[in-house]
Amino acid sequence: MHHKGTVTLETERLILRRFAVSDAADMFRNWASSEEVARFLTWEPHPSAEATAELLREWVSDYGKPDTYNWVIMLKAENMPIGNISVVRQYDNISCAELGWCLGTEWWGQGYMPEAGNAVLRYLFEEVGFSRIMAAHDIGNPKSGRVMQKIGMTKEGVLRQQGFARGRVFDEVRYGILADEWRRSHAATE
């Protein structure tokens, strides 16, 4: 693998770039303060834009590490941050990354997350050299599983009582895709 860190990625409607502390107000307003967004995630809604800024200061300092992959999802047309996609865990010994994401409710169901996910998969497979990428969701959140399917991931199983978030245990649904599978599926469409 050749870790290159978080670089700017562009799709038809989106720009994925590094966070800046100046994104705090938009991040807080658009998704970090939302109970509905955080419902199936590991973190509590942020109590203030200052709490969001504090988190962003940590994230920005992490960009100095070449194995940090953490993007803010920006709508090109409005230059508006609407969500986040990142590598939440890495297993370098097997060239595997685990993705996580969230999106403001105003932008749900419009294809933005699969669009961002495909851009990140392309980068992580083609540029960085991961051989496997996986993701998981709370069994109560099948919409996240549909995103995983739309970006070509295969459901690999349900790990019963595997997840823990916000004081509760849940069944975790696991998806994955191998680099060779991703290349074959994209060679057929290009």
Within a domain: residue 3?
no
Confidence (pLDDT) at 28: 98
Within a domain: residue 2?
no
- Per the structure, the complete domain to which residue 78 belongs is given by 9-189
Contact 15, 71 (CB under 8 A): no
Confidence (pLDDT) at 187: 80
CATH number of residue 78's parent domain: 3.40.630.30
Tell me how many domains the chain contains.
1
Within a domain: residue 111?
yes
Angle (CA) 98-36-86 rounded to 5° is 20
Within a domain: residue 144?
yes
Within a domain: residue 156?
yes
CA distance 69 to 6: 5
Structure tokens at 85: 């996609």
pLDDT along the chain (190 residues), means of 10: 96 98 98 95 95 98 97 97 98 97 97 98 97 97 96 97 91 97 81
Confidence (pLDDT) at 188: 63
* Beta strand ranges found along the chain (DSSP E): 9-10, 14-17, 70-75, 80-91, 96-103, 132-138, 154-165, 168-178
